Amino acid sequence: MIGFSPSEEQNMIVNTVKQFATDVMRKKFRDCDEAGEIPAEIIDGAWELGLVASCIPEQLGGAGWEHSALTGTLLAEELAWGDLSMAMHILAPSLAILPIVEMGTEEQKKKYLPALCGNKFTAATAAFIEPLYDFDPNEFSTTAKRNSGYTLNGQKCYVPLAAGADFILVYAGEGEERQCFIVEKGTKGLEIGEREQNMGIKALATYELNLKDCKVPAENRLGGKKGSDFNRLANLSRVALASMAVGVARASFEFSRDYAKERHAFGEPIASRQAIAFMLADMAIEVDAARLLNWEAAWKLDRNEDATREACLAKSYADNMVMLVTDYGVQVMGGHGYVRDNPVELWFRNARGFTTFTGMAIV
Amino acid sequence: MIDFEISAEDKVKVEEAHEIAQNLFRPISRYYDEHEHEDPMDLIDTMWKMRGKGFLTGLGITGALMVEELCWGDAGLYLASPGPGLGGAAVFAAGTQEQWGRFLARYGEGKPKWGAMAMTEPGCGSDTSAIQATAVRDGDYWVLNGEKIFVTMGRRALELSEGIIVVWATVDKSAGRAGMKSFVVEAGTPGMKVEKQEKKLGIKASDTVTVVFDNCRIPFNNILGKAEIKTKTEGFKGAMATFDVTRPLVAAQALGVTRAALDMLRDELTKRGIKVRYDVPRSKQTAIERDFMEMESNWRAAHLLVIRAMWQLQGGTPNALEASMAKAKAGRAATLITQRAVELMGPLGYSRKLLFEKFMRDAKINDIFEGTGQINTLVVARRLLGYSRDQLK
Ligand SMILES: Cc1cc2nc3c(=O)[nH]c(=O)nc-3n(C[C@H](O)[C@H](O)[C@H](O)COP(=O)(O)OP(=O)(O)OC[C@H]3O[C@@H](n4cnc5c(N)ncnc54)[C@H](O)[C@@H]3O)c2cc1C
């Protein structure tokens, strides 16, 4: 039966996250962007909401909730509405947790998941993007060669929290396949580079990685002999990022809408002119359009169906949408949108990243 | 619950609509585009019989899905198919049960009939508050005077059948919007005449006419809603309630034409060995892949906006904002996507051998009638901002 209202449980989660985003994230996001850092209280506060470790089985210390990509998109939208850097930081451990929960071997689950069920935030992450303008996740240039274990070679970038993580899930090409490998901190051949400096998501610590003949044991291949389902992971990541784009766009829409009603020019609020009002209307339509497309993709993933087409369309649509909407956000505010006293320029910078962001979040 | 699953019953109905579109509409699509004012009599009879057997599109999610399928076949022939049309929607939205019986029962019996709705006049379209047609009470009658243009299905409703037309007129010009009321006029009523039949860019199988009212007398109880002028906007509310239903439905028409273009485009690409790779990065997409994904995602997004507006309607949730969002998005998307399809297909797109150019012509009307793109955007903006008509003109 077709329906568009979140379940009671989903509403509860969304409301909790919304509250946190409003009361905590929104109070500090500008400072964090300027400082390039997120205070531990914020991250630990979010951790206490139990969003990330909830899908870890109970016997391993988690809450044992059934995983739902759809619920994930709902909460990721709210977090990204609060702040994209913080959202990516808060959700980073999922990059390792979800693939292991869904596709890991029993041994992998036992070995890596309990440490991620503590009272405090524990960093974990995945390395996906490579520093090439034509980076193609269908043909990772990072390779894994089978010998007694696996030898990894290649370069990665935009790896969130790499410096603080005990292990990193590395995506690599293994012959024709795309597989993930668990690389523990300190493994020989794993070099974590300097913290990256980007146009946006400035508060998120991301790093470049170098893998030089980095050897991992055979049992570190995600899913063991069976391996993992790359397409599904890529799709779960697409819907996560698309929902974050929706959150960022919504933030810009709401802020510029409210501003347009306050700001007067030529004796009237600027919102009472069609040139402004129509931009705002288009922003609202596009935000909803992108959200609905993404919900449909996530819904399909929850049914364990192949949703590659839907997820790619949703991601690509959201990538375009968020740029348009955040650009309008700045435009509606004129010069006041361009200065860093107001947040729309920050959302505009963050928005530009989405076409680049792949595999950087997962729900 | 958030759910995108169509019920099994609905699936059957949607498939049935698709078969009609494919087997009955498509084969004669080009013919009635080239023979503008001919009536597709065989199709009309078939559609009327199917209606008698229960093939009705209705006004909810199922209806929207079915309309999309039918317009995938041919948007003009969909409009030309007998039934109460926009006039019926207006009676349904603003009429009493007695009126439903008196005016709508005919659509389930006898010979094929159509319904029409007349708001637009030579001097005003978007600005519906400026209508000049008048309705003056005379005892047990209303006397209508005025000229209505661009009436969809006016000729078939009034000349080819014993249908109805819902006419908007003012009972008191000084009352502005509040004085606007709608009236049902039955075919054959003296004083009503069908005049000019328009020649159009597209949807040529659908007739579009001028209807003139010259001291046309109709029974007093043919008014939809109350006769008194109560609040400032009461009369107009009837029109607005109709729009909540008809805007998503017209948006669904747009989506049907759009998907027809997308499907045909995909087929032509497949013939040339091109398959859209959805999961390649932008830097490696071909221009066609990039365009196609943009077109397909825009179509699908508009589709979901339409379904959402209908879902609200079914659940009794106010949907005026979302109905206009859906219409604004779908009208624009249809226009741009079908234009792009012609461009991408080059000589095949522009040629009348294939249907791409027809889809483009048929699609354009969806950004014009039932509120232009601008008017729907205006409705969305006012609602988002909490502005009245005076605050945002
Ligand atoms: C094939 C066809 C079938 C039709 N069927 C019917 C029917 O069955 N019944 C019926 O009543 N009508 C029907 N119409 C009429 C249709 O609804 C009108 O054409 C439409 O509402 C626009 O009105 P208009 O043509 O007078 O344009 P105008 O109102 O003159 O508008 C011209 C342009 O100005 C823009 N504009 C107007 N006001 C504003 C504003 N406030 N802000 C910003 N932009 C504005 C419009 O968007 C448009 O771009 C039909 C039209 C066609 C072509």
User: From ligand 1's centre to the CA of B227, what distance in Å?
Assistant: 27
Q: Give chain B's contact residues with A (Cβ, < 8 Å).
A: 1-7, 61, 278-284, 293-294, 296-298, 300-302, 304-305, 307-308, 311-312, 322, 325, 328-329, 374, 377-378, 380-382, 384-385, 387, 391-393
Residue B4 to residue A316, Cβ atoms within 8 A: no
Phi-psi label, residue A349: left if phi above 0, alpha if psi -120 to 50, beta otherwise: alpha
Distance from CA of A173 to the nearest CA of B (A): 16
Kindly report the number of other CB atoms within 10 A of residue B212's CB atom: 18
**Which one of B3, B280, B381 has the shortest CB-CB distance to A278?**
B381
Residue B183 has pLDDT above 70, yes or no: yes
Residue A4 to residue B311, Cβ atoms within 8 A: yes
User: From ligand 1's centre to the CA of B127, what distance in Å?
Assistant: 8
pLDDT band for position B238 (cuts 50, 70, 90): low
Q: Which of B37, B126, B204 to mutate to test the pocket of ligand 1 (most atoms within 8 A of CB)?
A: B126
- Per residue in B9-40, is it b (16+ CB within 10 Å) or e — as a string? ebeebbeebbebbeebbbebbeebbeeeeebb
Closest ligand 1 atom to Cα of B116: 8
Q: Which residues of B are catalytic?
A: 370
Q: Where are the alpha helices (DSSP H) in chain B?
A: 8-20, 26-34, 41-52, 61-73, 75-80, 85-94, 97-99, 154-158, 234-271, 287-314, 320-344, 346-350, 356-364, 373-385
For B327, the closest chain A residue by CA position comes to A285
Q: Which residues contact A98 (CB under 8 A, 6 or more apart)?
A: A55, A67, A233, A236, A362, A363
Residue B233 has pLDDT above 90, yes or no: no
At A68, is the secondary structure helix, strand, or coil?
A: coil
B150 lines ligand 1 (CB under 6 A): yes
Q: pLDDT, tens digit, for every residue of B247-281? A: 999 999 999 999 999 999 999 999 999 999 999 99
Q: pLDDT, tens digit, for every residue of B49-79? A: 999 998 988 889 999 999 999 999 999 999 9
**Which one of B5, B298, B387 has the shortest CB-CB distance to A272?**
B387
Distance from CA of A347 to the nearest CA of B (A): 21
User: By CB neighbour count within 10 A (0-12 exposed, 13-18 middle, 19+ buried), where does A23 fall?
Assistant: exposed
DSSP state of A240: H
Q: How confident is the prediction for chain B on average, in pLDDT? A: 95
pLDDT of residue B232: 58
Closest ligand 1 atom to Cα of B370: 17
> Rounded to an integer, what distance in angstroms lies between the CA atom of residue B316 and that of residue A83?
35
Q: What proportions of chain A, in percent to the nearest 5, are helix, strand and coil?
A: 55, 15, 30
Q: Where are the alpha helices (DSSP H) in A166-307?
A: 230-262, 274-302
- Per residue in A62-74, is it b (16+ CB within 10 Å) or e — as a string? beeeebbbbbbbb
Residue nearest to atom 30 of ligand 1 (CA): B125
**Which one of B298, B308, B385 has the shortest CB-CB distance to A4?**
B308
> Rounded to an integer, what distance in angstroms lies between the CA atom of residue B267 and that of residue B293?
15
B67 lines ligand 1 (CB under 6 A): no
**Chain B neighbors of A2, CB-CB under 8 A:** 3-6, 61, 307, 311
At B75, is the secondary structure helix, strand, or coil?
A: helix
| Residue to test with chain A: of B1, B2, B5, B387, most A Cβ within 10 A | B2
B300 lines ligand 1 (CB under 6 A): no
Residue reference for tokens 């910078």: A349
Strand-strand pairing, B115-118 and B164-170: parallel
B379 lines ligand 1 (CB under 6 A): no
> Rounded to an integer, what distance in angstroms lies between the CA atom of residue B46 and that of residue B27?
14
pLDDT of residue A243: 98
User: By CB neighbour count within 10 A (0-12 exposed, 13-18 middle, 19+ buried), where does A262 fall?
Assistant: exposed
B166 lines ligand 1 (CB under 6 A): no
Closest ligand 1 atom to Cα of B86: 8
In chain A, which residues have pLDDT < 50? none
DSSP assignment string, A74-135: HHHHHHHHH-HHHHHHHHTTHHHHHHHHHH--HHHHHHHSGGGSSSS----EEE---S-TT-
Structure token pair of residue A298: 């996530």
pLDDT of residue B94: 87
Domains annotated for chain B, with CATH where assigned, are 8-107 (1.10.540.10), 113-229 (2.40.110.10), 235-385 (1.20.140.10)
Rounded to an integer, the average pLDDT of B22-29 is 98
Say what the ipTM of the complex is: 0.95
Kindly report the number of other CB atoms within 10 A of residue B337's CB atom: 28
- Which residues, in sequence order, are bridge partners of residue A174? A177
Residue reference for tokens 């850092």: A37
**Which one of A271, A282, A290 has the shortest CB-CB distance to B301?**
A290
**Which one of A6, A134, A290 has the shortest CB-CB distance to B281?**
A134
User: From ligand 1's centre to the CA of B375, what distance in Å?
Assistant: 9
- The CA R_g of chain A, rounded to the nearest whole Å, is 20
User: By CB neighbour count within 10 A (0-12 exposed, 13-18 middle, 19+ buried), where does A341 fall?
Assistant: exposed
B182 lines ligand 1 (CB under 6 A): no
Domains annotated for chain A, with CATH where assigned, are 8-116 (1.10.540.10), 125-220 (2.40.110.10), 230-356 (1.20.140.10)
User: From ligand 1's centre to the CA of B41, what distance in Å?
Assistant: 30
Distance from CA of B120 to the nearest CA of A (A): 23
> Largest alpha-carbon pair distance within chain A?
76
**Chain A neighbors of B279, CB-CB under 8 A:** 138, 231, 234, 308, 312
Residue B378 to residue A278, Cβ atoms within 8 A: yes
Helix H or strand E segment including A152: strand A150-160
Residue A257 to residue B279, Cβ atoms within 8 A: no
Closest ligand 1 atom to Cα of B120: 11
pLDDT band for position B242 (cuts 50, 70, 90): confident
DSSP assignment string, B162-181: S-EEEEEEES-GGGGGGGEE
Pseudo-torsion of CA B327, B331, B332, B336, nearest 10°?
A: 150
- % chain B with pLDDT above 90: 89
Residue B178 has pLDDT above 90, yes or no: no
User: From ligand 1's centre to the CA of B32, what distance in Å?
Assistant: 25
For B379, the closest chain A residue by CA position comes to A281
User: From ligand 1's centre to the CA of B368, what distance in Å?
Assistant: 6
Question: Comparing B179-183, B334-338, B364-368, which segment has the lowest mean pLDDT?
Answer: B179-183
> Rounded to an integer, what distance in angstroms lies between the CA atom of residue A160 and that of residue A125?
6
DSSP assignment string, A257-276: HHHHHH-EETTEEGGGSHHH
Residue B231 has pLDDT above 90, yes or no: no
Structure token pair of residue B376: 């729907």
User: From ligand 1's centre to the CA of A291, what distance in Å?
Assistant: 30
Q: pLDDT, tens digit, for every residue of B121-171? A: 999 999 998 999 999 999 999 999 999 999 999 999 999 999 999 999 999
Q: Which residues contact B231 (CB under 8 A, 6 or more apart)?
A: B178
pLDDT band for position B176 (cuts 50, 70, 90): confident
Residue B48 has pLDDT above 80, yes or no: yes
pLDDT of residue B6: 94
| Residue to test with chain B: of A258, A285, A321, most B Cβ within 10 A | A285
Residue B281 to residue A4, Cβ atoms within 8 A: no
pLDDT of residue B235: 57
Distance from CA of A136 to the nearest CA of B (A): 6
pLDDT band for position B236 (cuts 50, 70, 90): low
Given a contact cutoff of 8 angstroms between Cβ atoms, the answer to whether B366 and B250 are in contact is: yes
Q: Which residues contact B21 (CB under 8 A, 6 or more apart)?
A: B69, B70, B71, B72, B73, B74, B256
For B378, the closest chain A residue by CA position comes to A278
Q: Which of B114, B119, B150, B378 to mutate to test the pocket of ligand 1 (most atoms within 8 A of CB)?
A: B150
B372 lines ligand 1 (CB under 6 A): yes
User: From ligand 1's centre to the CA of A318, what distance in Å?
Assistant: 32
Residue A281 to residue B381, Cβ atoms within 8 A: yes
Length of chain A, in residues: 363
Q: At what angle do helices B61-73 and B8-20 cross, to 10 degrees?
A: 20
Closest ligand 1 atom to Cα of B154: 8
Q: Residues B97-100: contacts with CB within 8 Å, 24+ apart?
A: B98/B221, B99/B184, B99/B221, B99/B222, B99/B224
pLDDT of residue B243: 86
